[in-house]
Chains A and B, each alone.
Chain A
C-alpha cells in the first residue's frame, strides 16, 4: 500500500512525459501519469508521480529535460533541488 509520501516530476512537454514513462516502464519502476497539480504549475498537462525509487527514476530520466521535482513530505509539495 502506498503511503502519503510521493514524488512528482514535471517536464516541459507531453513528449518528455511519455519519454519518461517509456524508460520507467522499461525498468519496471512503478509510476503514474497524473495531471500537473495546480499549485505547482498552471500547465494543463501531465506529470509523473511515483512513491519511491526517486533517485533511480531521476537517473533514468537524466537525458530528459526536467522542469522540477517535488516531494509531498508533510502537507505541502516541496521542490527537491538536488537528490
Chain B
C-alpha cells in the first residue's frame, strides 16, 4: 500500500500520536474542566498542555488566544463570520479552497459583505500590486491561502501584511502548518486558521485558530463551558468565549503526541524531507511523456502537493487504476474549483499526489512507474 494523500489527511500517524491518544483513552477518559475529580482535571491538563505546545509551535505569546475547533473549515468560519459585518469589504484570492469561498459567498449573498477576488496567475502567484489596488475604504480583511492544496504554491504572508497595513490578515494555513515554519507575531498574522490532522499528525476532527491580541470576534456557538456556570449568558473570557461543549479531547491528546513528534524530529528535517520527496516526483515526471504537471516546479510551489494530468485520460480513470494497485491519490477538484479555474484545469480537475514524511523514495518510484504505464496504455 502506498498512501499519497497526505494533503487531505496524514497517514500513517507517528507513534507519539498513538501513544498519547492511547494514554487518554485507556487511562484518563474524563471530561476536561467539567468536574472536580482527578480524571476530569487530568483531561483538562491534556487540553492545557496541547494548547500551550501548539501556541509555542506557532510562536504565539498567549495560549488562551489559541482556540480549538472541529477542523480547518470550522476555524475559517469563526474567523470570517465572527469578524465581518454588513458593509464590510473583504478581499481574497482565486487560489482559495471552498472552506474560504463558501463562507465568503454566504456573507456576500446574505450578510451584506462586499467581496473581491484577486486573480492569481496560472502558477498560483498573487500580484501584490493588484491586491493593493483592490483595497477600498471599507476593506476590513484580506483572506489568504498560505499554501495551495492543489499545486503546493505558497504566498509570502509577511510581504502581504506589510502591503495591507492595518487591514486584518486571515491566513488559511491548513497546508503549510507543520511543513513550513510559521511565526505568527513576526509575520504579523492577525488570525491564523488550520486543521490538525494533516502535518500536525493529530486525528481527524480537530482544528485551531489563533487570534492576535486586541482582536475580538463574535462567537458563533454558545453553551456549556464549565465556567461561570451560574450565568445564563455565555462567558466573554478566553478561550471559553469561542469554545463550548465537550471538546475533542482524544483529538487534542493525539495533537500533543503529533507536536512531540515534530519536536523530536525537528521541523527543518521534516520540511527538507518533504521538499526532497516533492523534487523526486517532479524529476520523475520530467522524464515521462504525455504528462502535464501544474505549478511552477519549485519556484513558488514548494509544498509536497503536486497536481498532474495524463494526456487522453480522465483524472478519475488514473485514480481508479492507481487504486487497483493500492496507490492512493486524490482526483478531481480537491474542493477548490476556483484554484482549478486559475490553473486552467476546471472542470476536469487533476490527479493530486501528496507524499508525507513517512513516504519512502521507493514509494515514489513505484508510483512513477505506475503512472508511466498508465500513460503508455
> A residues within 8 Å of B by Cβ?
12-19, 22, 33-36, 41-46, 65
Contacts and interface: CB of A to CB of B under 8 A. Distances in A.
A14 B226 contact: yes
Contacts of A65: 237
Contacts, number: 63
Q: Chain B binding site: helix, strand, loop or mixed by DSSP?
A: loop
Interface size range on B against A? 20 to 34
A35 B36 contact: yes
A40 to B, nearest CB: 11
A66 to B, nearest CB: 12
11 contacts: A12-B227, A13-B239, A14-B227, A18-B45, A33-B41, A35-B36, A36-B36, A42-B229, A43-B227, A43-B229, A44-B226
B233 interface: no
Nearest to A63: B62
A44 B48 contact: no
Interface string B222-242: 000111111000010111100
Contacts of A44: 34-36, 226, 229
A20 to B, nearest CB: 11
Contact of A13 (B41, B45, B52, B237): B237
Interface in B28-42: 32-36, 41
A43 B64 contact: no
A15 B239 contact: yes
A14 B237 CA distance: 11
Q: Chain A binding site: helix, strand, loop or mixed by DSSP?
A: mixed
Contacts of B64: 13, 15-16
B175 to A, nearest CB: 29
Nearest to A18: B48
A35 B37 CA distance: 8
Contacts of A43: 227-230
B2 interface: no
Contacts of B45: 18
A15 B36 contact: no
Interface in B311-332: none
Top 3 nearest A-B pairs by Cβ distance? A35-B36, A14-B33, A18-B48
Contact of B41 (A16, A19, A36, A46): A46
Nearest to B227: A13
Interface in B199-245: 225-230, 235, 237-240
